[in-house]
Structure 1
Amino acid sequence: MTRIKSNTLIVLAVFLIGLIGISCMVKTEKEPAKTLKDAFEGKFHIGAALSANYINNHSQPSMGVLKEHFNSIVAENVMKSGMIQLREGEFNFDMADKFINYGVENDFHIVGHTLIWHSQAPRWFFTDSEGKDVSPEVLTERIKNHIHTVVGRYKGKVKGWDVVNEAILDDGSWRNSKFYQILGEDFMKLAFQFAHEADPEAELYYNDFSMANPGKREGVVKMVKNLQEQGVKIHGIGMQGHIGLEYPTIEEFEKSILAFSSLGVTVMVTELDLSVLPSPRRDMGADIATNVEYQQRLNPYTEGLPDDVQQKFDERYLDFFKLFLKHHDKISRVTLWGINDGDSWKNGWPVKGRTDYPLLFNRDNTAKSVVNEIIQLAAQY
Structure 2
Amino acid sequence: MVNKLVFLILSTVILVGNQSFAQKKITLKEAFKDKFLIGVAVNRSQINQSNQEETKLITSQFNALTAENDMKWMYIHPKEDTFNFEQADKLVELAKANDMFVVGHTLVWHSQLAPWVFKTDKGDTINNAELTSRLKKHISTIVEKYKGKIDAWDVVNEALAEDGSYRKSPFYTIGGESFIENAFRFAHTADPEAELYYNDYNLINAEKRDGAIRIINNLKSKNIKIDGVGIQAHWSLEEPTIEEIETAIKMYSETGVKVMFTELDISVLPSPWNSPTADVSVSFENNPTMNPYPNGLPDSVQTQLAKRYAAIFELFNKHADKIGRVTFWGLHDGLSWKNNFPIRGRTDYTLLFDRAMEPKKAFNAVIDTVND
Structure 2 length-normalised TM:
0.92
Distance of 2:158 and 2:52 partners within structure 1: 32
Tell me the amino acid that sits aligned with residue 233 of structure 1: K
Distance of 1:370 and 1:291 partners within structure 2: 28
Q: Are the counterparts in 2 of residues 33 and 375 from structure 1 also a CA contact under 8 Å?
A: no
Map 1:339-350 onto structure 2 (within 5 A).
339-350=331-342
Q: Deviations over 1:290-343 (max 9, x none)?
A: 111122211110111112211211111111001111100000100000111011
Q: Deviations over 1:344-378 (max 9, x none)?
A: 11111111111100000011111112322322211
1:42 Cα deviation (Å)?
Answer: 1.3
Tell me the amino acid that sits aligned with residue 48 of structure 1: V
Instruction: Select between 251-260 and 59-68 the one with higher mean Cα deviation.
Output: 59-68
Distance of 1:370 and 1:352 partners within structure 2: 25
Asked if residue 166 in structure 1 is aligned to residue 158 in structure 2, the reply is yes
The aligned residue for residue 269 of structure 2 is 277
Distance of 2:328 and 2:175 partners within structure 1: 33
Distance of 1:284 and 1:370 partners within structure 2: 20
Distance of 1:88 and 1:262 partners within structure 2: 40
Asked if residue 146 in structure 1 is aligned to residue 120 in structure 2, the reply is no
Structure 1 unaligned spans of 5+: 1-30
Distance of 2:124 and 2:241 partners within structure 1: 44
**What SS is found at the alignment partner of 1:342?**
helix
Q: Are the counterparts in 2 of residues 148 and 195 from structure 1 also a CA contact under 8 Å?
A: yes
1:58 Cα deviation (Å)?
Answer: 4.4
The aligned residue for residue 63 of structure 1 is 55
- Over the aligned positions, Cα root-mean-square deviation in angstroms equals 1.3
The aligned residue for residue 260 of structure 2 is 268
The aligned residue for residue 215 of structure 1 is 207
The aligned residue for residue 28 of structure 1 is none
The aligned residue for residue 253 of structure 1 is 245
Structure 2 unaligned spans of 5+: 1-20
Q: Are the counterparts in 2 of residues 165 and 206 from structure 1 also a CA contact under 8 Å?
A: yes
Asked if residue 331 in structure 1 is aligned to residue 323 in structure 2, the reply is yes
The aligned residue for residue 135 of structure 1 is 127
The aligned residue for residue 38 of structure 2 is 46
Structure 1 segments, 4+ long, off by >6 Å, are none
**What SS is found at the alignment partner of 2:60?**
helix
Q: Are the counterparts in 1 of residues 201 and 233 from structure 2 also a CA contact under 8 Å?
A: yes
Distance of 1:87 and 1:284 partners within structure 2: 34
Q: Are the counterparts in 2 of residues 62 and 340 from structure 1 also a CA contact under 8 Å?
A: no
1:33 Cα deviation (Å)?
Answer: 7.2
Map 1:9-24 onto structure 2 (within 5 A).
none
Instruction: Select between 300-309 and 368-377 the one with higher mean Cα deviation.
Output: 368-377
Q: Are the counterparts in 2 of residues 48 and 74 from structure 1 also a CA contact under 8 Å?
A: yes
Q: Deviations over 1:194-214 (max 9, x none)?
A: 000100000000000001100
Structure with max Cα Rg: 1
The aligned residue for residue 15 of structure 2 is none
Please, which of 172, 178, 192 is the counterpart of residue 180 of structure 1?
172
Structure 1 length-normalised TM:
0.90
The aligned residue for residue 18 of structure 2 is none
Tell me the amino acid that sits aligned with residue 109 of structure 2: W
Map 1:20-99 onto structure 2 (within 5 A).
34-99=26-91
Tell me the amino acid that sits aligned with residue 95 of structure 1: Q
- Give the length in aligned residue pairs: 350
